[in-house]
Amino acid sequence: MRHRTSTSRDHPGSVLERSVRRPAPVDGQAETGAARATTQITDLPYGPKAAEVAREAVAVALHGTEEDLLDDARLITSELATNAFASGSPPLVLCVDRTTPSIGGLEVEITVTDGGCSHPSPSSPPAPEEEAESGRGLVIVEALADAWSLTTGTHGTRAWCRLTRNARPSTAST
């Protein structure tokens, strides 16, 4: 089975491109003062390989970022994809939004959707039994993400989280 990935990186007119502060520029216009955003959408296999494909897609989407952010994002994405396969139904889709605000820093939003499930979403992650081999996924997401949500339904489930890194202060002397 082949996995489809769509990516947009500052190509004017691209369907996936978006600007946080104003519409995407048209040919010949410069984008000044606006955030730079990239969106990557990946169809995940409905099976045990979902987490592996999701980790690889996040690594591509976040290429060049700090290693700790990449590690957190890969772990979170793996947990969300595993939950989608284990509790949901096809199709599984991963969306990674990477935004660099004009003031610096980095914001990453990771969303995994599936075709739905019959379980209600928990208000907070349930604590797994000490000896349990599974059940820690949402606890991990809650610990690593700056914000997250889970919305379940019979026609679709959406797991979302945000990771942010602030701009590093300038070390140059004035």
Digit-coded pLDDT (tens) for 80-127:
999 999 989 999 999 999 999 888 899 999 999 999 876 655 555 555
Confirm if 57 and 6 have CB atoms less than 8 A apart.
Answer: no
Instruction: Give the CA dihedral 9, 12, 13, 15, nearest 10 degrees.
Output: 20
- pLDDT of 117 reads 78
Residues 6+ apart with CB under 8 A from 82: 50, 51, 137
DSSP 89: -
Confirm if 155 and 89 have CB atoms less than 8 A apart.
Answer: no
Number of Cα atoms under 13 Å in the Cβ half of residue 171: 1
- pLDDT of 95 reads 97
CATH class of 34-124+136-165: alpha beta
CA distances from 50 to 45, 86, 91, 114 (A): 5, 10, 11, 11
Strand 36-44 and strand 5-9: pairing? antiparallel
More confident residue, 8 or 169: 169
Residue 41 in this model has a pLDDT that exceeds 70: yes
CA distance 128 to 121: 16
Report the pLDDT averaged over residues 125-145: 70
Residue 134, amino acid: S
Confirm if 91 and 148 have CB atoms less than 8 A apart.
Answer: no
* Angle at CA of residue 67, ends 65 and 70, nearest 5°: 70
Output the pTM of the full model.
Answer: 0.71
More confident residue, 17 or 30: 30
Confirm if 12 and 27 have CB atoms less than 8 A apart.
Answer: yes
Tokens 């995407």 correspond to what residue?
Answer: 24
Per-domain residue ranges of the chain: 34-124+136-165
